[in-house]
Amino acid sequence: METLLLWAFYIFTFYAFLPGFISRTFGFRVFQKGNTSRQIALTFDDGPDEKYTPQLLDLLAKYGVKATFFVVGTHAEKHPEIIKRMHDEGHSIGIHNYVHKSNVLMRPGTVQKQIELTSRIIESATGKKPDFYRPPWGIVNLFDFSPKQMQIILWSSMFGDWRKSLGAEKLACRMMKRMRGGEVFLLHDCGQTFGADEEAPAQMLVALEQFLDAAYDKGFTCVRVDQMEGFKRKLPNMVPLYKRFLIILWLGWEKVFHVLARLDTLDTEEPIFHIRKRTYSGAPVDLRDGQRIVNGDTYVELHFDNRRLKEFSEQSRSSVHLAIQFIRAVEKALPYMASRLASDPKYRSAKAMLGISMIHRGSEHLGFDVKDMPDGLFARATKVYLRFLLSVLHPQGTKRIAGGKEKSRSNESLMPKMIWMSADVLKDKYDSDLSVPEQESGTQVHDRVVSLVGSRSDSLEKTSVL
């Protein structure tokens, strides 16, 4: 019995708990909040209801508001005329399963059948296939992230409006407190699901009208989810599911590591470095400006922001384009680093900066000294880690590491190195007043990147600073 319970715990953890935690915490493959100052998205679950949904549509029409409805297939099947009215009046319609049942309690194939059946019902009534999906209670399972699925929409604010005892005034008060740009409200236009009060939508309609009056007076606009400024569908790309899952786990661990290691984030608009103060122990290191780093010297340990590296990889059309983005970001950050070392008493005594990187050529242009890592367990473990990271993050990473006919040169280029820069070089090369350098054209940066890394085929090695 204990073994069965343990296996049940493991299955629940990996099938539902971890995917739900990851999607909520990191926004993986879900949309749950917009990035806008004056728009709020209204979403309604569990309908349509023959009594309350028409009243809701009348209210939305009165205020000229568009909303997003996540309908239950069995209800939509009974009231296709309401589904058609939603569509005809400009609202967006998504799927909330055929029956209101948690995905945790269903096999992946059963969930898919529920979605497909509800999709056909909506398409039959409107002539259009739905694009959006909201799992009941917002609980996703591992297979909801499948590329065959549609965009998952969650929410940023819910109010307990399925309970009649809450009352319209208290509900309206809760909604007023969340009147902020980018919020995705979760409300219910049907009280026939498990745990809900059948008459609760009547209270919701009263509270919603009060909210719409207040929102109008304060200059807010209520919109469909897909009309919200900055809305971007987080649909899956061609990266295999196992890679996406590894990336999420790795980014999650990196957050934990930053806390455990007490890293400081360099203050820039888009942070690219995380740093901490360290005391050097090892063989003396001679830098090109004459500085010598010996046991007991203080230095700054650099950690490249790997979330930014992931973003660069996703946005890059090629290895050269990725290197261009990296060079621009690092050059933009180094003046901030010089300012931090000059102004922060914690780092003022540092003689140098040190990072571990796969850079072989080109980093000297930025002022770094490249040194071989002392042979040992740490060097070998770092090599494995960085090669794994490159294979996961970059679309050509696995192919790059495999090497083909350039395997030997590729393996040599992917050896991690120590990247040093003395504090004096940082101060001399990068003014601490953060003055903006003259902007280079895309062609100039491209030519400089190619000249630094030697050729297009070698440029990928320039991008993996950690």
* Confidence (pLDDT) at 374: 82
Whether the pLDDT of residue 214 is over 50: the answer is yes
pLDDT tens track for 229-266: 878 765 544 456 566 677 777 777 778 888 888 999 88
* Confidence (pLDDT) at 457: 35
Do strands 68-71 and 92-95 pair parallel, antiparallel, or not at all (unpaired)? parallel
Q: Which long-range contacts (CB under 8 A, 24 or more apart) does 452-459 make?
A: 452/327, 452/361, 452/362, 452/365, 453/323, 453/361, 453/362, 454/361, 456/318, 456/319, 456/320, 457/319, 457/406, 458/360, 458/361, 458/413, 459/319, 459/320, 459/322, 459/323
Tokens linked to 71: 């309908």
Altogether, the residues listed in the chain come to a count of 466
Res. 10 pLDDT band, cuts 50 70 90? very low
**C-beta neighbour count of 458 within 10 angstroms:** 21
Among the listed residues 45, 226, 305, 458, the single catalytic one is 45
DSSP string, 137-156: GG---GGGGSTTS-EEE--S
Residue entry with tokens 């740093």: 275
pLDDT tens track for 34-43: 888 899 999 9
Res. 409 pLDDT band, cuts 50 70 90? very low
Cα 151 to Cα 58: distance, rounded to the nearest angstrom: 28
Whether the pLDDT of residue 400 is over 50: the answer is no
Across the chain, mean pLDDT equals 79
Cα pseudo-dihedral 191, 196, 197, 203, rounded to 10: -70
Among the listed residues 87, 96, 188, 303, the single catalytic one is 188
* CATH class, 22-227 region: alpha beta
Does 375 participate in catalysis according to the annotation? no
The segment with the largest mean pLDDT, out of 164-178, 374-388, 445-459, is 164-178
pLDDT tens track for 138-164: 877 655 555 455 788 999 999 999 999
What residue ranges do the domains of the chain occupy? 22-227, 241-463
Cα 382 to Cα 357: distance, rounded to the nearest angstrom: 9
Does 45 participate in catalysis according to the annotation? yes
